[in-house]
Amino acid sequence: MDFLKDRFERRLNYVRISITDRCNYRCVYCMPEEGLQWIPHDRIMTYEEIVFLAQVLKGVGVEKIRFTGGEPLVRKGFFPFLDTFSTSVPGVRTVLTTNGSLIPQFIDEISRSGLSGVNVSLDTLDENLFRFITRGGRLQDVIEGVRLLSERTEIPIKINTVLMKGINDSEIKALLDFARSHRAVLRLIEFMPLDDSVWNKDLFIPTSDIMQRLPDPDRWEKLDNSSDHSAGPARYFRNSSTGQRLGLIEAVSHHFCDSCNRLRVSASGIMRPCLFSEEGVFLRPALLSGDAAEVKALILRAVSCKPGSYKQARSGAMHMSRIGG
Ligand code: SAM
Ligand code: SF4
């Protein structure tokens, strides 16, 4: 089996695939209030193309695929697609990132899905603030979604919280308690300046500031997660008295480029080697023609332009929902 390696000897074995750019929320840090112009359906990869792409990716050593969006659960046919995926691409682990709002509707399908992880985005436990941040979402749906995941499945759960100064940074204790009581790991994410229409520097707060404000600040010990492939870009801490784990994703203040093992594919079929770069390779024509050798060649081309760090990236950042956040 081949292994994908870039010019900097980083092994790339993890791919995030956005299966739709559409979303039922408009989070303030992700999309403008009026939403985005959705990509027409015929310019989105079909499920068959995604399966084919994953088969080629498996052949070059990819071990894990995250389905993300937009909101993956708004795309019709997602769970039948997952069934096909697991029989057609055996051995590749699948994980999901979701805003959680539709979990109650799909809990039976999720419990049978074979997913090896679900990340739920949840930024606040205050109903009004939740409605403000998501521009109209109902907190109860997500809380119920996390409860069902924790009680009706054994799938590992992570809760992703984008930290915003003066907005939700006072809720860390409440979010830690919520995560703990739902066997979930809380991960605090720095607000990333991805697009001018949503970026607000006044809301940025480095996760290092947060550490000092955690409950029992002296009890959080740093864990060495260098060999833990499910750790992703997070730095993990463990509370020495409760055993609870907490992850920090410091995309802005501590770039994790040295250990980056990922590629991203947008819903329209563009492979992007770096979140902070405008470089991208359009896979769709090769996917449509079913030419595996050409798809592999294009993947290698995308890998060859992966920058060593965000500092070398030719800036062209765009909305998370388009890139496959
Ligand atoms: N809709 C799903 C959700 O919200 O989980 C999946 C897609 S969303 C784009 C994936 C992740 O990107 C979410 O955890 C979201 O919080 C994060 N995200 C979006 N914009 C961000 C930004 N500007 N900075 C940091 N994280 C962001
Ligand atoms: Fe939708 Fe997720 Fe973006 Fe929020 S973060 S608008 S839920 S894609």
Residue 148 has a pLDDT of: 98
Taking alpha carbons only, the member of 20, 10, 18 closest to residue 53 is: 18
Indicate whether 3 belongs to any domain. Answer: no
Side-chain-side CA neighbours of 10 within 13 Å: the count stands at 22
Q: Which residue has the higher pLDDT, 15 or 200?
A: 15
- CATH (domain of 85): 3.20.20.70
Shortest-distance ligand to the CA of residue 137: 2
Question: Which residues on adjacent β-strands are paired with residue 235?
Answer: 248
Shortest-distance ligand to the CA of residue 250: 1
Indicate whether 31 belongs to any domain. Answer: yes
Residue 316 has a pLDDT of: 55
Q: Is 98 in the pocket of ligand 2 (CB under 6 A)?
A: no
Query: Which atom of ligand 2 lies closest to the CA of 101?
Result: 7
> Is residue 267 a contact partner of residue 283, using CB atoms and an 8 Å limit?
no
Phi/psi for 16 (5° steps) reads -105, 120
Domain that residue 232 falls in: 14-323
251 residue type, one letter: A
Indicate whether 2 belongs to any domain. Answer: no
Indicate whether 148 belongs to any domain. Answer: yes
Residue 52 has a pLDDT of: 98
Q: Exposure of 182 by Cβ count < 10 A (0-12 exposed, 13-18 middle, 19+ buried)?
A: middle
Out of 30, 39, 139, give the residue to mutate to test ligand 2, the one with the largest number of ligand atoms within 8 Å of its CB.
30
Phi/psi for 244 (5° steps) reads -65, 140
Query: Which atom of ligand 2 lies closest to the CA of 137?
Result: 7
Instruction: Report pLDDT digits (tens) over 142-184.
Output: 999 999 999 999 999 999 999 999 999 999 999 999 999 999 9
Please list, residue by residue across 187-222, b when 16 or more beta carbons sit within 10 angstroms of its beta carbon and e when fewer do.
bbbbbbbbbeebeeeebbbbbeebeeebeeeeebee
Instruction: Report pLDDT digits (tens) over 263-306.
Output: 999 999 999 998 888 889 999 999 999 999 999 999 999 999 99
Indicate whether 124 belongs to any domain. Answer: yes
Indicate whether 292 belongs to any domain. Answer: yes
Q: Is 31 in the pocket of ligand 2 (CB under 6 A)?
A: yes
- Residue 231's pLDDT band (boundaries 50, 70, 90)? low
Atom 3, ligand 2: which residue's CA is nearest?
30
Indicate whether 257 belongs to any domain. Answer: yes
- Residue 213's pLDDT band (boundaries 50, 70, 90)? confident
Q: What average pLDDT does the segment 220-246 reach?
A: 81
Residue 35 has a pLDDT of: 84
CA distance linking residue 149 with residue 191, whole number of Å = 26
Give me 119's structure tokens. 């990340």
CA distance linking residue 311 with residue 112, whole number of Å = 42
Q: Which residue has the higher pLDDT, 207 or 238?
A: 238
Atom 23, ligand 1: which residue's CA is nearest?
192
Q: Is 261 in the pocket of ligand 1 (CB under 6 A)?
A: no
Residue 268 has a pLDDT of: 96
Number of independent structural domains in the chain: 1
Shortest-distance ligand to the CA of residue 194: 1
- Residue 17's pLDDT band (boundaries 50, 70, 90)? very high
Indicate whether 22 belongs to any domain. Answer: yes
Beta-sheet strands, E only, within 116-180: 118-121, 157-163
Percentage, residues of the chain above pLDDT 70: 92
> Is residue 238 a contact partner of residue 293, using CB atoms and an 8 Å limit?
no
Average pLDDT of the chain? 91
Residue 108 has a pLDDT of: 98
